[in-house]
Amino acid sequence: MSELRTRDVVESDLPAVLAIRARSFGPLGIGGDAWWQRVSAETLGGRMVAVVDESDTVLGAGRIRPYEQAWGGRHLRMGGVAGVYVEPSARGRGVATAVTRALITRMGELGDVVSCLFPTTPTLYRRSGYEVGGVQTRTTYAAHLLRELGTSRRGTVREAGSRTSVRPAGPDDAELLHDLAREAGTRLGVSGPMVQSVATLRGTLERDELIAYLVEGGYVLYDLSEQAVTVEELVATNPEAASTVWGVVGSGSSAVPTVHTYLDPRDPVALVVGGLPSTEVRQVPWMGRVIDLEAAFAARGFNPHVSVEVDVVVSDPEAPRNCGRWTLTVAHGRGTAARTDEPVRDEDVLQVGARGLSALWCGWSVSRLRQAGLATGGTEADAALDAAFACQPYITEYF
């Protein structure tokens, strides 16, 4: 069996990587060439890694998309793992595992403190320390119910010059949209959503990929087809802005009566709309991983009413910086993770591997980790850890 090694993908490798992608998942569809050029430009130069054999033939590759992800309302550097392709004739030789582990190492080098992905093969990613963190949810509403929200408050979309007057958003609004998304995530204390970069938003608006409307305190990005409106992103920092942009989304109900949304499963629209969503609710699981516990814990937001100090022992061969005994402290909405050299007895302190740490980070209770065999020892700390990491993480964007 030939020896495998990893290296950065360079531009001359792209045809080989694309060919492996086609043999693994089929050829690119309409618009695929432009998409491939964009993601390649985004990840070449350190964020795309290849596995090669002794003749330097590319057998597999994966890329790390740079994201900004909210955890407890604070925004962390997140590496979005995508495009993990393996040459079909090389499967079973450990290529995919080599790619995944190389990506974890690279994320640590780049300063990405957490990582997420949408798995095609959960077992592969569990071997590298990923665990189910949450779901991307598609909820369907009748458009006329959303249209009514736009006229339910004083200051509707038709009142030009009012606080809630609405206008199309253009490329020059990209920075404003980015700031509004960050503001909303911080105010709501959410976990999971990714804030698109200014450059990404500007590119989306320049290419007219989505319909975009902006109002004071909010915006909406959506796709329109003959079958449905699909809301990709909706941000509102106040009730008036929310009513206005939802009214825009539902304004074409006579022609397109269905609206799909990719938002927080507990988005407040469910509390104010004059009806329930349809029974069609689709959920796509995603997996998360902690790349750098110390940095991630310090950057995350926590409930300001929670005060915790608890020790945890972590075993994480793929990310050695996470290994060891840690004292996790939470106070006044901030956290610190400090390594300690105190000896460990099995009954003294909670012990988790990479999967257990990742699940804990994503809000899984310690009791459930124990049931799954992902945590042992230290039962007295369960309630404290549950309180510290409590969240209902979700992702709105598929990548």
CA distance 240 to 217: 8
User: How much is the pLDDT for 213?
Assistant: 97
* Nearest-10 Cα torsion for 305, 310, 313, 316: 10
Closest to 263 measured CA to CA, from 145, 392, 396: 396
Give per-residue pLDDT as tens, 229-268: 999 999 999 999 999 999 999 999 999 999 999 999 899 9
Q: Which residues pair with 116 in a beta bridge?
A: 80, 288
72: left (phi over 0), alpha (psi -120 to 50) or beta: left
User: How much is the pLDDT for 44?
Assistant: 95
pLDDT at residue 111 is higher than 80? yes
User: How much is the pLDDT for 344?
Assistant: 62
Q: Do domains 136-284 and 292-389 have the same CATH topology?
A: no
Tally Cβ neighbours within 10 Å of residue 45: 11
Token pair, residue 331, equals 């106070």
Give per-residue pLDDT as tens, 189-215: 999 999 999 999 999 999 999 999 999
User: How much is the pLDDT for 100?
Assistant: 97
pLDDT band at 150 (very low <50, low <70, confident <90, very high): confident
Give per-residue pLDDT as tens, 367-392: 999 999 999 998 899 999 999 999 99
CATH for the stretch 292-389? 3.30.1050.10
301-314 average pLDDT score: 96
Under DSSP, the state recorded for 273 is S
31-41 average pLDDT score: 91
User: How much is the pLDDT for 341?
Assistant: 77
Q: Rg (Cα) of the chain, in Å, rounded?
A: 23
Look-up of token digits 């060891």: 324
Give per-residue pLDDT as tens, 52-76: 999 999 999 999 999 999 999 999 9
pLDDT band at 179 (very low <50, low <70, confident <90, very high): very high
Architecture of domain 136-284: 3-Layer(aba) Sandwich (3.40)
Tally Cβ neighbours within 10 Å of residue 33: 11
97-125 average pLDDT score: 97
Q: Where are the domains of the chain?
A: 5-129, 136-284, 292-389
Claim: this prediction has a pTM higher than 0.75: yes
User: How much is the pLDDT for 49?
Assistant: 98
CB 117 within 8 A of CB 51: no
pLDDT at residue 153 is higher than 70? no
Token pair, residue 37, equals 């050029």
pLDDT above 70 covers a percentage of the chain that reads 94
140-154 average pLDDT score: 83
CB 340 within 8 A of CB 326: yes
Give per-residue pLDDT as tens, 318-352: 999 999 999 999 999 999 999 997 766 657 899 99
User: How much is the pLDDT for 31?
Assistant: 84
Question: Would you call 67 helix, strand, or coil by DSSP?
Answer: strand
CA distance 173 to 176: 5
CATH for the stretch 5-129? 3.40.630.30
Token pair, residue 363, equals 């809000």
Task: Tell the burial category of 252 from Cβ atoms under 10 Å away from its Cβ (0-12, 13-18, 19+).
Answer: middle
User: How much is the pLDDT for 159?
Assistant: 43
CB 181 within 8 A of CB 396: no
pLDDT band at 176 (very low <50, low <70, confident <90, very high): very high
Tally Cβ neighbours within 10 Å of residue 376: 17
